[in-house]
Structures are given as structure tokens and as C-alpha cells.
């Protein structure tokens, strides 16, 4: 077999090896996967173009920035949703500590890459060491958490993961680990000063945006002072001509890199899902005792997949949180609500489906996460509401006398908090109307080959009549 | 106890010792058991003094029996007699409080369910536990042992996946042949959850067969199955037996057991009440008492 099997649509098409990438893409579009994602993204872009035109920051740059922002959040959520899909969608492992594993990845990255002399100090290692180290540490944390919990029933894993996530966050906040020395009492080993920075946070001058900035700047650590590279000069001048500033260009480039990572996650998950390994995961999700009775040592499968998912969460966390070059434990990225958001996005898309995961990430980021902010900005621009009341009661009381203005003003002022309410409502409606999410009903066959095709003899469809008399249960049977 | 590599005679001796020890059994039955085990090429599965209690209730209480290699042995008893628990103890789903289980001369007590299945002792469930959201094809593809693609590295790494695909192609052929044998190939791409009760039983048997077992434990394989399909299932069982498989069958239908099994074990209140050929069981007073009112 040649390596045509990197083809993500491998189980769908005929196993002719020499298919060109174009034809594969065509098949994907026909499948509806790539087409569906493109369609949804196009819709979101139209919406955000309208938002940008109506909103306070007008002009072409406003449109570009709005599209960049929504794409960035889509990519960030898509990555985390895909990682969670590996746990929950594929293997039925209920991990509600996503934020904790992200934090482990981010802080390990920070400790490895922060300069030795900084406060808090790090090890001053290169970027890629930080990324790999962060992923490994997140995977190790995953193993540590899953080892005791996976022996028990599914609910225990949920409890352990949520507890772990909070322990991580509170430990990072604790001043005990603000600055400490590793190996200080161990002979023959050098003292290694490290620290979390506790509430003061930790800065990450080396982070994944640096390679992106180095495309444009000769001194990516300090773009303000640095000169442009030849390529940067050309591109940034071109964008400036249409009124787009250099910071937007850099963000746009980083967003494109993130989209590349989303594609990588997607590819990896498809490979895992469409294989005998993925088949066992599916069986674990359906009925673990059956998997056991068929000779599968499900514990190993669960631990492995849990570690891989946690490593991806660590990577997602690094790409998410290090953009600003600084983090602290109060960041919303590490709060339990973050895990909840990622779950919502996965539920919207449909657990088990990777395409659904990406769609869910996009819809959540655009409509529930960013959309309300844009809408409120637009409304504030057009509706003069005056001072908003400071309490909900204060907003609600005038409604009785049919004076809606304070209520509207209050709503617009507190949109970012009121998003929780919106998210809650969406969740309830979804659970009622479509508990499987947008694409959760779709079942992707877990195999590296098309099982319906046979190399010899008859295929399916040439079946013989039903083997049983049909007087027992099978109401739903259709031949 | 049956140590590793126990000879046939050793197993037989152990079994007859155990039989002699459990004095509550009918001595005639014990003797017959011992006699039967003295024959060469015998026990595939030996269960010795197995006990399990759940919260003070002795679900299984000192059960000993053996299943002859290549036989179709029936395990019967009224509801709550401990048949399913015995199955669970044999297959490692529950751990026995006391007692030993050995399979093909190897002690399998306390082994994991997955390891026992890989030893070639495969079970089916009383209520067919198919993997509903997986297709019939996936169900069968899942079962075979030693698939290299079950290793994550092989499944993901570009250079290694080619071999996995080769393997899967070979398996696919076997799967289709098995589906044809069980006459459910027309349902191949159907989700298992959409199958009728009887078709599920066929699927379960076919899936278990994909493991290349040397012995199968069937927990009420004919419950809720219409007579036509029951006939088909029985035909398959007899065919597989000809090929050398050993079967232990839990069943409620006495007539079926009496007609098809050459050896019958009767359980009652967690204990073995009687053991022997169908004709003897039929005329056994204690069995008749246990099944009071039931036509044997």
C-alpha cells in the first residue's frame, strides 16, 4: 500500500491509490464535509462583515479585523472541541477538566521558555521544547488523573477531572509556588529556580507568535522598535495601502497558522477514528463489557486516548493563551466556564463527528461568543440609552411602567455576562430539539478501509431475503 | 488444584476429589462425573468449588463441574439458580469468593475478561449486547484478535498504516464470509441497533466466532428468537461443534436442552443439583422437585 492513505476521505472513495488531491477535495465537497464548513464560514463572514460595517469601527480595516477575530476564535474553539471530541465523542470519556489540562500545557510551556533571569524565572529553552514539553506534561497529567479513575465507572472520571482542573488553577494562584527552587535539597543536581508567579502571572516573551512576527519583523521580540524584513515591507505596505494596519496583518497571519493546526487536529482524529484502534474506542463508548468480552483490554485504550486528548488540549492551550505573551491564573481560559464553553460547542456540532466539532466551534465562537458583543456595540451606537442602571432589579422595575429604556441599557452594558444566559438557553433548546447536535446523528464507520467493498464475490445490496420470519421485534429493520 | 500443564489424569483426579468433598451431591452423579472425566481427551473447562455471594445472598455456592472438549453441554435451572453468575465468574466479569476455574489446563481464575477471551473462551450475553451505533460490519471487524491497527502508533503513523489497511482487507473478506454463513450479509451496513431480536442473536454469535474461540459460553441464545431462526442458530452451533468447538449453553427450554445436549448440568439455588445425560436428568427426582410443576 502506498501512502495514499493520508487521504482523509480514504474510507469513502474507491481504494484506487493514485487519486489526485483535487479529486479528493471534490469527493470531500460531495460528501458535504468541506462544503458544509465552507458554507457555514461564508455565512459567518457575511454576518460579521455586516456587523463591522454597522459597528463603531468602520472601513475596510474594520471588516478585516472582524473577520480575523471571528476566525481566530473559531480556530481556537475548534482545536479544543476536536480534542474533547476524542475523549467524549469517540470513547465516551467524560472529561470536564479541559481547562485544567490547558493550564498544565500553558504553564509548562511558560516555565520551559521563560528567561532564566525573569521574575518568575524559567529555563530559557527554545520555543519548540516548550510546546513539546507542554504537551507531554498535559499528557502525563492526563495519565495521572485517568489511572485511578478509569478503573471505576464513567462518572468518577468526571468528578476527578473537574477536581483536577480546580486544583491546578488554585495551585497556580497559590503564593507557595510563586517562586521556588527545584532540586534545592537534592545532591549532585543543580538548583533550578522556577515559579508560577502566582497572582502576578508569568510572562512568555518566547511564544508561538514570535515565528509569525519574524516573517515581518527583523526583531520579532519587539516589533515596535524593529525594522521590517523585505517580505514584511512588501506585505505591510500593500495592506497599508488599503488601510489595514500592521498589527492586523500579524494577527491575520497567526490566525492562518491556527487554521493549519485545526486541520492537523482534524487529520489526526480521523486517522485515530478510522482504524482498528478507533473501532475499539467506539465499542468502549457503546458497551465496555462487550469490548472486554471480545478480548480488548479497554483500560489501555482508555488511558492512551485520554493522554493523546490531554496533549492536544495542552497544545490548544499554548496556542490560545500565549498570544499576549503573558498569562495569570485568573485568565478565563483556565476557569471551569471554559470547559463548559467547549462542551457547548461540541454539543452544538454533535459529539462524535469531527466536522460537527469544527462547525460547533465556529457557530459557538461566532454566534454565542463574539456575536453578542458586536450586536451590543451596534445597538449602543444607534440607541441613545443614557446611563444604565447598576442592578438587574433597577433595570427591571421601570419595565412595569412600560419604560423599557433602562432595561435595554442594562442589557447592552452587560452583554458579556448575559452571554451565559444565552448559552444556557441554547443548551436547553438543543437538548429538547436536537440532543445529538447538528451532525451527531451521523456515524462515521470506524475502519481504515471501506468495509462495504469486497475484493471478491458479491457486495452488499445483493442480499438474500430476511433470515427470520419477521414476527419478532425488528420494527425498524429496513433491507 | 489444576496447576499449570496439568495432565488429563490430574484434572480428572482433582475433579473427582472435589466431587467427593462436596458431600451434598448425589454420589451416583459424582461417580458418573469421575467416570466421564477418566476418558481420554476430556475436560476443556473445569469449574471447581466456585462461590460468590452478593450482600449475604449466595448466588453461587460451591459449584463444580467440567465441560468435555467438543461437547455441547447444557446448563439449566430455574430463575435465580445462579447460571448467569456462574458465567460471569468463569469469564472474569465478577471475581469468585472461592474456587478455581481452569480452561484447557490453564488456571484462568482472576484473569481479566479480555485475557480470558483471548485465551479462546468467548461468551455471549443473555440480553444480546450488540454495539448499537456500530454497523454489523464494524461489530464483526472489532472482534478478531491481534489486530496491529489496535496499536495507536500503527493506526496513526503514515509509514505503518499501510500494513494496517492490508490486514483490514483480509479481515473484511473473513467478515463477509461469516456474515454469509449466518445469512445476515444483507444487513451488513445496517446499524446493529436496527436489527431485530433474533438477528441480534445471530450477530452476537457471528461476532464471537470472529475471535476464533475454542469454546463458547452461550447465555440463553434462543430467548426471544422465533422457531425458524432458532433452527438456524442450532444448525450453526452443531456445524461449529463438528469443527471442534466446545459449547456450554444456558437455556430455559428443557425440551431443547434434552434434544440437543449430550450432557446436562442442573443448578438450583446456587448449587449443582444434578449432572448427567439428558435421560438420567429427566428421571432424577431432585430435578423434578426443583422444577415442581414444570414438565420435564
Q: What is the pLDDT of residues B49-63, one digit of tens each?
A: 999 998 888 889 899
B247-257: per-residue pLDDT in tens?
Answer: 999 987 788 88
Which residue in A285, A302, A304, A467 has the most chain B C-beta atoms within 10 A of its own C-beta, making it the best mutation to test that interface?
A467
- State whether A294 and B211 contact (CB < 8 Å): yes
Of A89, A71, A25, which Cα lies nearest the Cα of A438?
A89
Bridge-based pairing of strands A326-327 and B121-123 is unpaired
Question: What integer pLDDT is reported at residue B9 of this predicted model?
Answer: 41
User: Considering only alpha carbons, which residue of chain A is nearest residue B169?
Assistant: A449
Instruction: State the pairing for strand pair B246-250/B72-76.
Output: parallel
Q: Is B82 left (phi over 0), alpha (psi -120 to 50) or beta?
A: left
Q: Which long-range contacts (CB under 8 A, 24 or more apart) does B23-29 make?
A: B24/B271, B25/B272, B26/B274, B26/B286, B29/B274, B29/B275, B29/B276
Chain A residue with the nearest C-alpha to that of B135: A445
> Mean pLDDT across the stretch A132-150?
91
For the cut 50, the answer to whether the pLDDT of residue A312 exceeds it is yes
Q: HSE (CB half, 13 Å, CA atoms) of A354?
A: 23
Question: In whole angstroms, what is the distance from residue A61 CA to residue A180 CA?
Answer: 46
Judge if B95 and B204 occupy the same domain: yes
Grid coordinates given for A325 = 505573551
B195 pLDDT above the threshold of 50 = yes
For position A68, what pLDDT does the model report?
95
- Rounded to whole angstroms, the Cα distance separating B110 from B133 reads 31
In this structure, is residue B208 part of a structural domain? yes
Q: Which helix (H) or strand (E) holds A326?
A: strand A326-327
How many CA within 13 A on the CB side of residue A236?
Answer: 18
User: From CA B48, how far away is CA B34, in angstroms rounded?
Assistant: 13
Rounded Cα gap, residues A315 and B6, in angstroms: 54
The pLDDT, as a whole number, for residue A156 is: 87
Q: Could you give the CA distance from residue A82 to residue A345 in angstroms, rounded to a whole number?
A: 10
Q: Which range of residues forms the domain containing residue B97? A: 8-130+196-290
Question: B272: which strand partners?
Answer: B267
% of chain A exceeding 90 in pLDDT: 43
HSE-up (13 A, CA, CB side) for residue B91? 28
The rounded distance, in Å, linking the Cα atoms of B39 and A159 is: 56
A393 three-class SS: helix
Mean pLDDT, rounded, of chain A: 84
- Whether B1 is covered by a domain: the verdict is no
Mean pLDDT over B209-235 rounds to 88
* Closest alpha carbon to A151 in A277, A306, A308: A306
| Gap from A219 CA to chain B (nearest CA, Å) | 37
- Residues of chain B neighbouring A294 (CB-CB closer than 8 A): 114, 117, 122, 142-143, 207-208, 211
User: A184-229, pLDDT tens digit by residue?
Assistant: 788 888 888 888 888 888 999 999 999 999 999 988 888 777 688 8
Domain boundary, last residue among B154, B177, B194: B194
Residue A313 has pLDDT above 80, yes or no: yes
- How big is the A-B interface in CB pairs under 8 Å? 218
Chain A residues close to B129, C-beta within 8 Å? 287, 289-290
C-alpha R_g of chain A:
25
How many residues are listed for chain A in this entry?
479
Q: How confident is the model at residue A109 (pLDDT cuts 50, 70, 90)?
A: very high
Mean pLDDT of A437-452: 78
**Cell numbers given for A87:** 475523549
The confidence score (pLDDT) of residue A470 equals 38
Identify the residue whose cell numbers are 431475503. Answer: A465
Identify the pLDDT of residue B57. Answer: 86
Q: How far apart are CA A30 and CA A40, in angstroms?
A: 16
Q: Is the pLDDT of residue B175 over 50?
A: yes
Shortest Cα–Cα distance, B210 to chain A (Å):
9
DSSP-assigned letter for residue A205: S
Whether pLDDT at A15 is above 60: no
DSSP string, A223-273: TTTSPBPHHHHHHHHHHHHTT--HHHHHHHHHHHHHHHHHHHHHHHHHHHH
Q: Are residues B115 and B246 in the same domain?
A: yes
Cell of A313: 488540549
| More reliable by pLDDT, A430 or A456 | A430
CB contact under 8 A, B149 and A448: yes
Strand-pair category, B121-123 with B72-76: unpaired
Q: Cα-Cα-Cα-Cα dihedral of A423, A428, A429, A432, to 10°? A: 160
Element (H, E) at B130: none
Query: Does B161 reside within a domain?
Result: yes
When pLDDT is averaged across residues A296-316 and rounded to a whole number, the result is 94
Contact call for A292 and B226, based on CB within 8 A: no
Judge if B112 and B256 occupy the same domain. yes
pLDDT at B13 over 70: no
The minimum CA-CA distance between B108 and chain A, rounded to whole Å, is 14
Closest Cα in chain A, distance from residue B275 (Å): 28
Do B200 and B180 fall into the same domain? Answer: no
Same domain, B51 and B164: no
Q: What is the pLDDT at residue A194?
A: 86
Give the whole-angstrom CA distance, residue A85 versus residue A343.
Answer: 9
ipTM metric: 0.81
The sheet carrying B57-68 orders its strands as: B57-68, B43-54, B98-103, B106-107
Q: Residue A17 gets which letter from DSSP?
A: T
- Look at chain B and report how many structural domains it folds into: 2
Residue B221 lies in a domain: yes
Instruction: Looking at mean pLDDT, say which of A98-112, A228-242, B83-97 comes out highest.
Output: A98-112
Surface-to-core class of residue A421, CB atoms within 10 Å of its CB (0-12 exposed, 13-18 middle, 19+ buried): exposed
What CATH number did the domain enclosing B91 receive? 3.40.50.300
> Which residue from A minimizes the CA distance to B92?
A293
- Whether residue B116 lies inside any domain: the answer is yes
Highest averaged pLDDT of the listed ranges A73-77, A395-399, B14-18, B230-234: A73-77
- Give pLDDT tens digits for B20-41: 444 443 444 444 444 444 444 5
Whether residue A120 has a cis bond before it, omega within 30° of 0: yes
Decide if pLDDT at A75 tops 60: yes
Kind of pairing between the strands at B215-219 and B246-250: parallel
Q: Give one DSSP letter per residue of A364-382, joined into a string.
A: IIIIIIIHHHHHHHHHHHH
Q: Which three cell numbers stand for residue A374?
A: 458586536
Same domain, B68 and B23: yes
Looking at the domain assignment, is residue B141 inside a domain? yes
Is it true that domain A26-382+414-433 has CATH number 1.10.3470?
yes
In which band, very low, low, confident or very high, does the pLDDT at B228 lie, cut at 50, 70 and 90?
confident
Which is more confidently placed, A385 or B90? B90
How many angstroms separate the CA atoms of B177 and A457, rounded? 10
Both B215 and B100 in a single domain? yes
Report CB contact under 8 Å: B141, A286: no
pLDDT of the residue at A442: 61
The pLDDT assigned to A55 comes to 82
Are the beta carbons of B282 and B296 closer than 8 angstroms? yes
Mean pLDDT of A237-258: 92
Non-local CB neighbours of A202 within 8 Å, separated by 6+ positions? A107, A110, A111, A114, A120, A122, A195, A196, A326, A327, A328
Supply the pLDDT for residue B216.
93
**pLDDT number for residue B294:** 52
Tracing cell 465537497 back to the chain, one arrives at A29
SS3 for B128?
coil
What percent of chain B lies above the pLDDT cut of 70?
A: 84
Helical pair A98-113 and A127-149, crossing angle rounded to 10 deg: 140
d(C-alpha A132, C-alpha A312), whole Å: 11
Query: For cell 454565542, what's the residue?
Result: A368
Q: Is residue B263 part of a domain?
A: yes
Angle between helices A371-382 and A405-413 (to 10 degrees): 140
Test A445 with B163 for CB contact under 8 angstroms.
Answer: no
Q: CA A41, CA A251: separation in Å to the nearest integer?
A: 18
pLDDT, average across residues A398-411: 81
Cα B89 from Cα B101, distance rounded (Å):
8
Contacts B84 to A, Cβ<8 Å: none
- Predicted confidence band at B215 (pLDDT cuts at 50, 70, 90)? very high
Distance separating alpha carbons of residues B82 and B87, to the nearest angstrom: 9
Using a CB-CB cut-off of 8 Å, the residues of chain A touching B93 are 289, 292-293
Task: Tell me the pLDDT tens digit for each residue of B111-132.
Answer: 999 999 999 999 988 776 778 8
The pairing of strands B43-54 and A326-327 is unpaired
Residue B224 has pLDDT above 90, yes or no: no
Domain assignment present for residue B152? The answer is yes
Amino acid at each position: 500500500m502506498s501512502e495514499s492513505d493520508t487521504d482523509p476521505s480514504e474510507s469513502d472513495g474507491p481504494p484506487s491509490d493514485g487519486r489526485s488531491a483535487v479529486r479528493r477535495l471534490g469527493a470531500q465537497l460531495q460528501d458535504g464535509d468541506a462544503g458544509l464548513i465552507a458554507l457555514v464560514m461564508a455565512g459567518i463572514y457575511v454576518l460579521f462583515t455586516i456587523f463591522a460595517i454597522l459597528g463603531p469601527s468602520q472601513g475596510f480595516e474594520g471588516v478585516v479585523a472582524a473577520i480575523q477575530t471571528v476566525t481566530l476564535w473559531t480556530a481556537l474553539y475548534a482545536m479544543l472541541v476536536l480534542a474533547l471530541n476524542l475523549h467524549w465523542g469517540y470513547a465516551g470519556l467524560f472529561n470536564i477538566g479541559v481547562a485544567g489540562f490547558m493550564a498544565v500545557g500553558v504553564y509548562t510551556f511558560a516555565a520551559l521558555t521563560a528567561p532564566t533571569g525573569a521574575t518568575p524565572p524559567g529555563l530559557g529553552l527554545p520555543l519548540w521544547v516548550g510546546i513539546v514539553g507542554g504537551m507531554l506534561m498535559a499528557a502525563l497529567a492526563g495519565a495521572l488523573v485517568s489511572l485511578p479513575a478509569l478503573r471505576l465507572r464513567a462518572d468518577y472520571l468526571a468528578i476527578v477531572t473537574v477536581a483536577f482542573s480546580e486544583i491546578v488553577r488554585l495551585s497556580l494562584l497559590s503564593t507557595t509556588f510563586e517562586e521556588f527552587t527545584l532540586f534545592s535539597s537534592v545532591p549532585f543536581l543543580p538548583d533550578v529556580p522556577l515559579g508560577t508567579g502566582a497572582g502576578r502571572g508569568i510572562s512568555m516573551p518566547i511564544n508561538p507568535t514570535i515565528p509569525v512576527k519574524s516573517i515581518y519583523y527583523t526583531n520579532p521580540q519587539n516589533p515596535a522598535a524593529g525594522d521590517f524584513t523585505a517580505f514584511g515591507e512588501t506585505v505591510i505596505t500593500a495592506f497599508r495601502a488599503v488601510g489595514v494596519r500592521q498589527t492586523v496583518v500579524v494577527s491575520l497571519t497567526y490566525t492562518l497558522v491556527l487554521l493549519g493546526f485545526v486541520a492537523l487536529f482534524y487529520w489526526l482524529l480521523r486517522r485515530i477514528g478510522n482504524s482498528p484502534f478507533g473501532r475499539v474506542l467506539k465499542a468502549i463508548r457503546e458497551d465496555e463489557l462487550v469490548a472486554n468480552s471480545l478480548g480488548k483490554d479497554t483500560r489501555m485504550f482508555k488511558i492512551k486516548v485520554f493522554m493523546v486528548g490531554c496533549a492536544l488540549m495542552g497544545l490548544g492551550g499554548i496556542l490560545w493563551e500565549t498570544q499576549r505573551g503573558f498569562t495569570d491564573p485568573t485568565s478565563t481560559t483556565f476557569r471551569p466556564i471554559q470547559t463548559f464553553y467547549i462542551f457547548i460547542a461540541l454539543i452544538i456540532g454533535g459529539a462524535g463527528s469531527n466536522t460537527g466539532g469544527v462547525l460547533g466551534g465556529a457557530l459557538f465562537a461566532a454566534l454565542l461568543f463574539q456575536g453578542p458583543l458586536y450586536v451590543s456595540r451596534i445597538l449602543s451606537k444607534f440607541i441613545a440609552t443614557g446611563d444604565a442602571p447598576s442592578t438587574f432589579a433597577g433595570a427591571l422595575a421601570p419595565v412595569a411602567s412600560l419604560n423599557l429604556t433602562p432595561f435595554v441599557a442594562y442589557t447592552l452594558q452587560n452583554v458579556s455576562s448575559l452571554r451565559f444566559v444565552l448559552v444556557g438557553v441554547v443548551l436547553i433548546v438543543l437538548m429538547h430539539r436536537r440532543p445529538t447536535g447538528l451532525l451527531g446523528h451521523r456515524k462515521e464507520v470506524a475502519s481504515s478501509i471501506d468495509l462495504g467493498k469486497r475484493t471478491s464475490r458479491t457486495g452488499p445490496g445483493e442480499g438474500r431475503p430476511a433470515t427470520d420470519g419477521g414476527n419478532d421485534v425488528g420494527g425498524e429493520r429496513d433491507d | 488444584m489444576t496447576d499449570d500443564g496439568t495432565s488429563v489424569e490430574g484434572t480428572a483426579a482433582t475433579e473427582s476429589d472435589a466431587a467427593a468433598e462436596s458431600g451434598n451431591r448425589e454420589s451416583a452423579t459424582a461417580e458418573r462425573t469421575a467416570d466421564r472425566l477418566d476418558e481420554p481427551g476430556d475436560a476443556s473447562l473445569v469449574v471447581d468449588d466456585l462461590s460468590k455471594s452478593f450482600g449475604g445472598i449466595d448466588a453461587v455456592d460451591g459449584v463444580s463441574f467440567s465441560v468435555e472438549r467438543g461437547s455441547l453441554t447444557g446448563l439449566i435451572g430455574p430463575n435465580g439458580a445462579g447460571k448467569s453468575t456462574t458465567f460471569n465468574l468463569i469469564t472474569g466479569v465478577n471475581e469468585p469468593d472461592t474456587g478455581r476455574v481452569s480452561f484447557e489446563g490453564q488456571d484462568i481464575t482472576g484473569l481479566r475478561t479480555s485475557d480470558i477471551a483471548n485465551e479462546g473462551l468467548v461468551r455471549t450475553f443473555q440480553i444480546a449486547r450488540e454495539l448499537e451505533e456500530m454497523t454489523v460490519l464494524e461489530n464483526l471487524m472489532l472482534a478478531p484478535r491481534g489486530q496491529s491497527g489496535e496499536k495507536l502508533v500503527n493506526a496513526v503513523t503514515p509509514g505503518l498504516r499501510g500494513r494496517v489497511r492490508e490486514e483490514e482487507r483480509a479481515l473484511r473478506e473473513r467478515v463477509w464470509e461469516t456474515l454469509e454463513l449466518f445469512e445476515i450479509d444483507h444487513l451488513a451496513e445496517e446499524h446493529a441497533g436496527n436489527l431485530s431480536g433474533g438477528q441480534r442473536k445471530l450477530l452476537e454469535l457471528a461476532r464471537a466466532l470472529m475471535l476464533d474461540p475454542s469454546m463458547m459460553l452461550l447465555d440463553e441464545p434462543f430467548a426471544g428468537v422465533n422457531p425458524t431462526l432458532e433452527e438456524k442458530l442450532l444448525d450453526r452451533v452443531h456445524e461449529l461443534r463438528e469443527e471442534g468447538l466446545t459449547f456450554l449453553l444456558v437455556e430455559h427450554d428443557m425440551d431443547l436442552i434434552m434434544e440437543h445436549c449430550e450432557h446436562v448440568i442442573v443448578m438450583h439455588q446456587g448449587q449443582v443439583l444434578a449432572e448427567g445425560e439428558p435421560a438420567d436428568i429427566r428421571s432424577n427426582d431432585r430435578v423434578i422437585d426443583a422444577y415442581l410443576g414444570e414438565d420435564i
